[in-house]
């Protein structure tokens, strides 16, 4: 949660994706404030317009992956801040490799989103108890 008491945009996007996957129109986001021990609840109504915006963003991500490109470093990520400190990829994002070297490393052996998707769909058993 930001200091101005608004929900983080990426958290709302994440919630919207879960809502879409479950076919739910209204959702809640619960923040547990470590500073004040308060709970803050945000509600989200998933409209068609919001979903189309999210869908477009997802399609851009898939296109970027198919082109074997990496997204830009997150603006909110800086050496020393919480996001940076918790991320397992920080040595890559802030390391010595050029963006081109990094893309080659990340996408080594990657044959495309469609192939990856099909590969994992084939791995799903209809009778899987985890479903
Ligand atoms: S270090 Fe992690 S959080 Fe920061 S930009 Fe890279 S991937 Fe994103």
* Per-residue pLDDT reduced to its tens digit, 2-55: 456 788 888 998 999 999 989 999 999 999 887 788 888 999 999 999 999 999
Q: Rounded to an integer, what distance in angstroms lies between the CA atom of residue 118 and that of residue 100?
A: 27
Pocket test residue of 74, 88, 91 for ligand 1, highest count of atoms within 8 A of CB: 74
- Indicate whether 131 belongs to any domain: no
Q: Rounded to an integer, what distance in angstroms lies between the CA atom of residue 114 and that of residue 76?
A: 31
Confidence band for 128, pLDDT divided at 50, 70 and 90: very low
Q: Measuring from each residue's beta carbon to the nearest atom of ligand 1, which residues come in under 6 Å? A: 73-74, 77, 83-84, 87, 89-90, 93
The count of domains in the chain is 1
Pair of tokens at residue 65: 């992956």
Distance 86 CA to ligand 1 centre (A): 9
Full residue range of the structural domain in which residue 53 is found? 9-122
Smallest CA separation from ligand 1 atom 8, residue: 74
The DSSP 8-state label assigned to residue 75 in this structure reads: T
Name the pTM for this structure: 0.67
Report the mean per-residue pLDDT for the chain: 85
Q: What's the Cα-to-Cα distance from 16 to each of 10, 11, 87, 110, 127, rounded to whole Å?
A: 10, 9, 23, 28, 28
- Indicate whether 2 belongs to any domain: no
User: Is the confidence at residue 97, as pLDDT, over 70?
Assistant: yes
- Indicate whether 128 belongs to any domain: no
Smallest CA separation from ligand 1 atom 6, residue: 93
């Amino acid at each position: 949660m930001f200091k101005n008491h608004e929900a983080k945009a990426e958290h709302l996007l994440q919630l919207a994706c879960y809502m879409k996957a479950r076919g739910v129109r209204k959702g809640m986001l619960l923040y547990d404030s470590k500073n004040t021990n308060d709970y803050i609840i945000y509600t989200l109504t998933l409209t068609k317009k919001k979903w189309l915006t999210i869908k477009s963003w997802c399609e851009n991500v898939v296109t970027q992956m198919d082109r074997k490109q990496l997204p830009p470093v997150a603006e909110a990520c800086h050496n020393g801040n919480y996001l940076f400190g918790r991320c397992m990829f920080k040595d890559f994002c802030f390391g010595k490799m050029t963006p081109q070297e990094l893309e080659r490393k990340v996408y080594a052996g990657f044959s495309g989103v469609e192939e990856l998707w099909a590969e994992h769909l084939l791995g799903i058993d209809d009778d899987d108890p985890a479903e």
